[in-house]
A and B are shown apart, each in its own frame.
Chain A
Amino acid sequence: MTESLSLAAEAAGVLDAQPDRPGGGSPRSRRVNALRDAMMRSLVPVLLALVAGGVLLLVLGDNPFAFYGNIWQYGISQGSWEDSAMRAAPLLLIAVGLIVVFRANIWNLGYDGQFLLGAALITGVAPHLERLPNALSLVILFAVAMAAGGAWTIIPALLKARYQTNEIITTLMMSFIGIGVANILVKGPFQDPTVNIPQTRVIPFDHMLPPIPGTRIHAGVLVALGVALLAHYVLTRTSFGLRLHVLGANPRAAAHMGVDVRGLIVRAFLISGALVGAAAAADILGVWGYVRANWNPAYGDTVIPFVFLARLNPLAVIPFIIFFAVLSTGGDLAAAQANLSTDFLLVLVALILLFMTVIEFLGRRRDLGGSYLTPGLRAALRQPLVRRRAGAASSNEASR
C-alpha cells in the first residue's frame, strides 16, 4: 500500500520539491495530498470534457448515454480492447518522445514529419529484407525508422544548440518538409508497381510484428510499455534525467553547473525523434503494413494534451493514452452510428484542453498542487492572465 502510494506520489511530484503547504504533516499525509491533487488536476478536466461533450450530443439530438455506451462497446468489450491496445502503441511512444524534450523546455513539434518519414522509409526498406530472418529484419526496420525520426530533428537541434533558434518554428518547418518528402517517396521510389493508387508495397504478414500469444495484439504494444517504463527510470533516477530537468527549469543555471547544454539539447532532440520514429515502426509493422500517399494520422496533435495532463511523467501518461485509444477506437464506430463525423472525437480532445486551462487557472488561485506546465512556459502563459485580473480588480475598485 505504502509502496504504491509512494510510487504514485513520485509520479505526481517527480524530482520537484514537495509543495510547501501549511500543515504539511507527515511525509505520508503529504504524499496522500500530493496524490489527491494530482488526481484532481488530471482527472477533472477529462470528466468535465465528457460531460460537456454529452451536453453537446444532446444539443445535436443524440443520446449521450448511447454514444458513450457505444464507445465502451466498440472500444473495450468483445475483444475490441485489443484494437484499442494496438492503437495505444504509437500514441504512447510519441508521448514519451515528447516528454523527454518537453522536460528540458524544448518543444519538438515536428512529430508528424518525423513519423511519416520513418513510416515511408520502413515500407521502402522492408521489401529488401524479406530474405532475412523475421526478428533481424524487424530490428533493422525499427532502427531505420528511429534513425529517420532522429535525423529529422538534427537541423532544429543544431540551430537551437548553436544559435538559440526557436525550435518551435524550425521543427514545424521541418515537419512540413518531412511530410512532403514522405509523400514523394511513397508516390515515387517506394510506389507499389502492381497497383494504380499511390501507395507502397504491402509488407507480408509474416514480416510484421508477431502477436502476443493468445491475442491479436502485436508485440509493439509491449515495446511501447517497456519504453515508457525505461524512460521514467531514466528521467527520474539518472544523471541524464536530472540534467534535462535542470536545463528545463533554468538553462542558465545548467550552463553554470557545467552541464554541456549544447550536447544535451542535441541528444534530447535525437531521442525524441527516434522515439517518434519508433512509433511509426510500431504502427506500420504492427497494424498497417503499408503507407498510402497523403496519409497522416497526426497522432502527436492528439497526444499533446495528455502529455501535459500527465505532467510530463511517462508512467502517468499511460492511463491517459489508454483512455484516448479506447475513445478513438470505439469513437470511430460510435460516431458513425450516431451519424456524427469522427471529428467529434477531436472536439472531445479540444474540450479536455479547454478544461485543463480552466483548472490551471483555478489551480493557480487555489494552490492545487503542481502545474501541468514547465516553469518557463508557465511564466509566459501567466503574464496576460495576471494583468487581466489586476485590471478587473482595479476597475472594481474604481466603480466603488
Chain B
Amino acid sequence: MNDQPVPQSARSEPAELAAASDQTPAVELLGIGKSFPGVVANDDISLVLRRGEVHCLLGENGAGKSTLMAILAGMQQPDSGRIRVAGEDVRISSPRAALALGIGTVYQHSTLIGALSVIENLLLGDSRALRLDVAGARQRLAEFSAILGVQVDPDTRARDLALGGQQQVEIIKALWRGSRVLILDEPTSMLTPQAVHELQSVLERLTQHGLAVVFITHKLHEAVALGDRISVLRAGRLTGAIDREQIKASTPEQLEAAIVRLMFGDALDTDEEIAELQLGVEGHRRTRQADAEVALSLEHAHARGDGSQPGIEDVSLTLHLGEVLGIAGVDGNGQRALAEVISGQRRLTHGEIRFLGAPVGSLSIAAREKLGLRYVTDDRLGEGIVGAMPVSLNLVLKRIGQAPYWRHGRIRRDAIDRDARALVERFDIRTPGIHARAATLSGGNIQKVLLARELSFDAKVVAFHKPTYGLDVRTTRTVRRMIGELRNGRAALVISTDLDELLEVSDRIAVLSRGRIVGEVENGPGAAEQVGRLMISDVSLGAAPLPEPLAGRV
C-alpha cells in the first residue's frame, strides 16, 4: 500500500488527511513481547491507537516506551505478539516498511541535515525517484504547512531553524509519504515553553484531520494536558490506561495522582511521597554564612563560542562554599561555553577563574579534576561516557594513570572493580553488572554513572549543566537531592534552562543572556518573575542580533 512514487500522490494525500472517520483502530498492538539480554523490555503489551486521538505513552526511563515504539516504527522486531494496521495483520520489518504502512516517526533528536534546506531535507525521502519533483514538493510543503497551521520557509537551511521549527519540519517529513499514524518520541524535551505550546496546537490540528498520534513522554503534566488517552508503562508492563471519559471527568490533580500511582506502583510507601513527586521537592534552603569562603569565582571571563553557539563575554560570578548558584537563560546563550570554561575544556581568552582562591584558568582539565573542581556535562552520551567500555572503567576514566587504579603505569583491575562496585551500590546505578557496556544503560543510569564519577574522589565544587534534562521523575528527584547535599561544606553551580529546577535547588540565580550575565536574583518569593524579566529584557533591546533560539521564530 501507499508505495507509489511520490509525484503522483503528491496532490492527493494531504487532501486525504481530511477524510477519515473509520471506526477501525488505526493500529492495534496485541500481546507484544520483546526481551534484551537481562531485560524484559516489553511484556505482553496490548495497545490500541485510534484515529483522531493523541495517545500518551507515559513511563519512567527504561519502562519500555521507546522499545514499544521502535517495534511500531520497524526498528526492532517483537519476540511475540501481533501488530494490526487498519484491521490487517502486518509485519513491520524495517523503518521503510513502517512508512509504507503509514506510520511516521519523529525521533527525540533531530534527523535533519543541517547544511541542506528544508525542501531538500524533505526531498531526501523521495530519493528513489530519478528526477526530483521540486515544484511538486514545494506545493506539498505549502499544503502541509496549512494543515499544521505553521509557517515553514522551504529555503531556510535546517540548521538555521529554531528547535521548534526543526521539529515542525520533522513532523512534515514523517507525514510526507502519507502517514496516518504519527509517533512523537519525547518531543518536548528540547523545546522552550512557547514551542511546546505551538506543538500542542499542531497536534490538535492533526487529530482533527483524523490522524492517530502517539506521544511518548515522562512528564506528567504534558500527558494530562495533551492526551486523549493515557497508557502507563512500568518495567516493561502496561500498568494502566486512562481513557477519554476518565480524563474529562477528573481534575488535573486527581489525574496526576492516579498516574503517579500507576507509574511507580507499590514502590512508593506513602501518599506524601506521591505528593512530593508530583510537586517536586521544596529545597531545604539555608541561608549561607556571610563569611563563607569563596569556592569558585570568574573574573571578567571571556571565551569564544563555536559555530552558531555564542561564547561568553565579561562574565563575573562568585560562588561561596555551602552555596548553590543557578545560571538561568534560554538555551544557546553561552551555557556550554560557561560550563566548558569552568571544566577546562575551553580556554579563556581574557579574565581569570579562581578555585578556593587560587587561579586555575591555565590548568588542564585533569589538574582541575584532581583539585576537586568537577563538571557534570549535559552531553552524557556524546562526551560523558565511552559507550563501548564497561561501567567500571567509565567510573574512573577521568583518573587514567592515577593511583590507586594505575600503579607504575599499569592498570589495576581489582582496585577499579572494587571501587566501581561500591559506587554502583552507593549511587544506586541499575546495571546488569559493572562490566556491562555503559551504552546499554538507560539515560537515568548513565547520568548516575556521571554523578558517581564527578561527586566522588573529594569533589569540592561541582558544575552541573542541565543535570536533569531528559530524566524521569524519580531520577530527577535524586539528582536534585544530590545537588542540595553539596551545601554541606561544598558548592554547586547549576546551569539549567529549566527555571523551575533552578528555583528549586538554588540559593541565588544569575541570568545568562547572549554570553553575558545580565543580572542576579536572590532566590525567594518573586524570584521567578524577576529572573523571567531578566531573561527577556536584554533581547527586547533589539540592538544586537537575536540569540539563535529566538531568531527563528520572529
Interface residues of A, Cβ cutoff 8 Å to B: 15-18, 20-22, 24, 237-240, 242-243, 245-246, 249-250, 252-253, 255-260, 375, 389-391, 393-394, 396-398
**Chain B minimum-CB-distance residue to A236:** B411
- Give 5 A-B pairs besides A246-B389, A394-B93, A398-B3 with Cβ atoms closer than 8 angstroms: A17-B390, A240-B409, A246-B386, A249-B388, A258-B344
Check A18–B95 contact: CB distance below 8 A.
Answer: no
Measured between alpha carbons, how far is A237 from B410 in the docked complex, in Å?
Answer: 5
Check A389–B94 contact: CB distance below 8 A.
Answer: yes
Min Cβ gap B309→A in Å is: 15
- Of the candidates A20, A24, A256, the one whose C-beta lies within 8 Å of that of B440 is A20
Which residues on B sit within 8 Å (CB–CB) of A24?
37
Given contacts A393-B97, A397-B97, contact A259 B384 (CB under 8 A): no
Which residues on B sit within 8 Å (CB–CB) of A375?
387-388
Measured between alpha carbons, how far is A365 from B127 in the docked complex, in Å?
Answer: 26
Check A390–B95 contact: CB distance below 8 A.
Answer: yes
Check B432–A257 contact: CB distance below 8 A.
Answer: no
Measured between alpha carbons, how far is A258 from B368 in the docked complex, in Å?
Answer: 9
Min Cβ gap A240→B in Å is: 7
Min Cβ gap B393→A in Å is: 7
Which listed segment binds A: B219-227, B394-402, B483-491? B394-402
Check B94–A255 contact: CB distance below 8 A.
Answer: no
Which residues on A sit within 8 Å (CB–CB) of B383?
250, 252-253, 255-256
Please report which residues of chain B, range 103-125, place their CB below 8 angstroms from some CB of chain A when the two chains form the complex. none
Which residues on B sit within 8 Å (CB–CB) of A242?
393, 400, 411
* 15 pairs of residues in contact across A and B, judged by CB atoms under 8 Å: A16-B389, A18-B436, A237-B410, A238-B406, A239-B411, A240-B409, A243-B401, A246-B400, A256-B343, A257-B400, A258-B365, A390-B97, A391-B94, A396-B93, A397-B93
Check A17–B389 contact: CB distance below 8 A.
Answer: yes
Check A250–B94 contact: CB distance below 8 A.
Answer: no
Check B365–A17 contact: CB distance below 8 A.
Answer: no
Which residues on B sit within 8 Å (CB–CB) of A246?
386, 389, 397, 400
Min Cβ gap B440→A in Å is: 6
Check A239–B406 contact: CB distance below 8 A.
Answer: yes
**Chain A minimum-CB-distance residue to B388:** A249
Which residues on B sit within 8 Å (CB–CB) of A391?
94, 96
Which residues on A sit within 8 Å (CB–CB) of B95?
390
Given contacts A16-B389, A20-B432, A250-B383, contact A258 B398 (CB under 8 A): yes
Measured between alpha carbons, how far is A17 from B94 in the docked complex, in Å?
Answer: 29
Is residue B366 within 8 Å, beta carbon to beta carbon, of the partner chain? yes
Interface residues contributed by chain B, number (CB under 8 Å): 49
Measured between alpha carbons, how far is A291 from B410 in the docked complex, in Å?
Answer: 41
- Of the candidates B100, B377, B432, the one whose C-beta lies within 8 Å of that of A398 is B100
Check A253–B3 contact: CB distance below 8 A.
Answer: no
**Chain A minimum-CB-distance residue to B36:** A20
Is residue B139 within 8 Å, beta carbon to beta carbon, of the partner chain? no
Measured between alpha carbons, how far is A396 from B387 in the docked complex, in Å?
Answer: 35
Check A17–B96 contact: CB distance below 8 A.
Answer: no
Check A259–B436 contact: CB distance below 8 A.
Answer: no
Measured between alpha carbons, how far is A22 from B364 in the docked complex, in Å?
Answer: 43
Measured between alpha carbons, how far is A15 from B385 in the docked complex, in Å?
Answer: 15
Min Cβ gap A229→B in Å is: 15
Please report which residues of chain B, range 396-438, place their CB below 8 angstroms from some CB of chain A when the two chains form the complex. 397-398, 400-401, 406, 409-411, 432, 435-438
The 7 lowest CB-CB distance pairs between A and B, nearest first, are A258-B365, A239-B401, A258-B366, A394-B96, A390-B94, A17-B390, A256-B383
Measured between alpha carbons, how far is A249 from B383 in the docked complex, in Å?
Answer: 11
- Of the candidates B97, B385, B436, the one whose C-beta lies within 8 Å of that of A253 is B385
Min Cβ gap B217→A in Å is: 27
Which residues on A sit within 8 Å (CB–CB) of B349?
none
Check B37–A256 contact: CB distance below 8 A.
Answer: no
Please report which residues of chain B, range 278-330, place their CB below 8 angstroms from some CB of chain A when the two chains form the complex. none
Is residue B38 within 8 Å, beta carbon to beta carbon, of the partner chain? yes
Is residue B542 within 8 Å, beta carbon to beta carbon, of the partner chain? no
Min Cβ gap B84→A in Å is: 15
Check A257–B397 contact: CB distance below 8 A.
Answer: yes
Min Cβ gap B27→A in Å is: 16
Measured between alpha carbons, how far is A259 from B388 in the docked complex, in Å?
Answer: 17
Min Cβ gap B420→A in Å is: 12
**Chain A minimum-CB-distance residue to B391:** A17
Min Cβ gap B45→A in Å is: 20
**Chain B minimum-CB-distance residue to A392:** B94
Measured between alpha carbons, how far is A321 from B379 in the docked complex, in Å?
Answer: 42
Measured between alpha carbons, how far is A237 from B413 in the docked complex, in Å?
Answer: 9
**Chain B minimum-CB-distance residue to A387:** B96
**Chain A minimum-CB-distance residue to B411:** A237
Which residues on A sit within 8 Å (CB–CB) of B366?
258
Given contacts A238-B409, A239-B406, contact A394 B97 (CB under 8 A): yes
Check A243–B345 contact: CB distance below 8 A.
Answer: no
Check B400–A256 contact: CB distance below 8 A.
Answer: no
Min Cβ gap A348→B in Å is: 32
- Of the candidates B91, B369, B437, the one whose C-beta lies within 8 Å of that of A258 is B369
Which residues on A sit within 8 Å (CB–CB) of B97?
390, 393-394, 397
